[in-house]
Amino acid sequence: MKQLLLASCVALVCLDGQTIKTNYKAEQAFQIEVQSTFTMETTDFSMERDGEPVEARWGAGGGSTVTRSIIITDTVLQAEDGSPTRLTREFESISNDSARSRGDEEFESSQECPLSEVTLELTLDDGEVTAEVVDGTEPDDEALLEGHQMTFALDALLPEKDVAPGDEWDLSIEQLQTALLVDLESVLFPRPERTEGEEGGSGRGGRRGGMRAGRGGGGVARYISAGDWEVTATLLGDTEEYDGTECLVISIKGESTGELPESERAPGGGRRGGGNALFLGPSLRPENSFEMEIEARLFYDAKAERPVHFEFEGQLSTESRREMNRRETAMVISTAQEGTFTYSVDLTSADRGDE
C-alpha cells in the first residue's frame, strides 16, 4: 500500500541494441485496475491444557478470504524529463470484501474505503509530493492524504541499467512493496476504529504509518514486509502478446522466510477488530513463522514505453505456537495454515487518441 500508480522515467531496458525507457507526457491519462485475492486455510490445529489434548468447541478447521478491487484514473497535468510533476488521481472505486469460516460458523463483511470516489491533485515540489482533494468528500483522517507518489508502481520492477534477453537482476523488498502497493495499504484500506471496550484494545496507529514497511498493513502485506526476501527478475528472450499488443516479458521469482514481529500480531489472537481481523485470519499469534514463494510476470509495451500488465501469485505457509499460563493452568495452542495470494494489474490508456 504507497507509490501508487503512475509514472517515472526510471528504468532502461536494452533489447537487440535498442534502448527502451518509460516516458510520460502531459495530458496522458491512464486507467489502472488492480484485483487481488488472499485466502488462508487452517490445515492443523491443536490445543493442550496441562499436557492433555483439548478439543476446540468450534472444531479444528477454518479459513478466510479477502477480495479487493481498485480502479484508478491518473491524468498527467505537467511533466518534466518524462516524469510527471503534477497530476490528478481519481479513485473511481475501492472495494474490500472478506469472508471467514470457523467450524459451522461463517462471517462476511465489507469495508468502506474513505478515498473511494475521491479525486486528488498531486504536486511535486522540491522532491516532496503534496495531495489536495479536488473532487469528492475530503477524508476525516488527514493521514490518508500522505504518502502518495507520482511513481507508476510497476516501474519499480524494471532494471536500473541496460539488460539483454536472459539477463537477471535482483529486486529489493522496497521494490516488491512498491509494485504490490504495500506502502499504501493503510491509505487505501485503513483499519476500522474500534469502539471502547472492544476486545483487543484500541486500534490506534492503524490509520497512520502505512507508508513504512510492515506498519499499518493487513493481510498478506504483513508477510511481505516481514519476510527475508530473495527475488530475481529475468528478461525473457521471446515476446508475448497481451490484449493484442506484442510485449516484452519479465519473469519474477522469489522466496522468503520470516516471523511476524510482536508489534505486527493482532491483539487477542486476531479474533476480533472488524475488517482487518478477517484479512489476517487466525494466523497472527506469537511465534508465528512463515515461508512464502512467489512467481510473477510483467508485460512491457515497447511502443507505449510502459508496463501494461502484471500477474502475480504467492504461496504462503505459516506455523504458530502460543503458550499461556493462567493461574495454575498451562495452555498451548498450535496452528498450521496454507494460503494463496493472487494479484493482477492492468494499465490502459484513457486518452481519446492512440498513444
Element containing residue 188 per DSSP (H, E): helix 185-188
Q: How far is CA 113 from CA 46, 57, 214, in A?
A: 36, 35, 20
> Rounded to whole angstroms, how far apart are CA atoms 69 and 32?
11
Cell numbers representing residue 145 in the block: 492524504
Residue 4 is assigned to a structural domain of this protein: no
pLDDT means per 10 residues, the chain with 355 residues, are 45 48 89 96 87 73 91 95 93 94 85 92 94 95 90 87 89 93 87 52 33 48 93 95 95 95 48 34 60 97 93 95 83 90 96 54
Count of CB atoms situated within 10 Å of the CB of 270? 20
Residue 133 in domain: yes
Q: Is residue 73 part of a domain?
A: yes
| pLDDT at residue number 286 | 62
Please report the pLDDT score of residue 51 as a whole number.
82
Please give the single-letter amino acid code of residue 68: R
Q: Helix, strand, or coil here: 165? A: coil
Domain around 156: 12-349
- β pairing state of 12-15 and 18-21: antiparallel
> What pLDDT does residue 261 have?
74
DSSP per residue, 237-294: SS-EEETTEEEEEEEEEEEEEEE--GGGSPGGGGS-STHHHHHHGGG--SS-EEEEEE
What are 97's strand-pairing partners? 67, 110
Q: What's the number of domains the chain is made of?
A: 1
Specify if 327 maps to a domain.
Answer: yes
In a domain, 70, yes or no: yes
Phi, psi of 280 (to 5 degrees): -85, -20
Question: Residue 157: inside a domain, yes or no?
Answer: yes
Q: Residues 183-214, buried b or exposed e (16+ Cβ, 10 A)?
A: bbbbbbbbbbebeeeeebeebeebbbbbbebb
Alpha carbons 169 and 252: distance in angstroms, whole number: 10
For residue 168, the one-letter residue type is E
pLDDT confidence of residue 16: 52
Dihedral (CA of 238, 343, 11, 251) sign: negative
Closest CA to 351 of 15, 27, 103: 27
3-state SS of 283-350? Answer: HCCCCCEEEEEEEEEEEEECCCCEEEEEEEEEEEEEEEEEEEEECCEEEEEEEEEEEEEEEEEEEEEC
Say if 209 falls within a structural domain. Answer: yes
- The reply to whether 355 falls in a domain is no
Torsion of CA 206, 212, 213, 215, to 10 degrees: -10
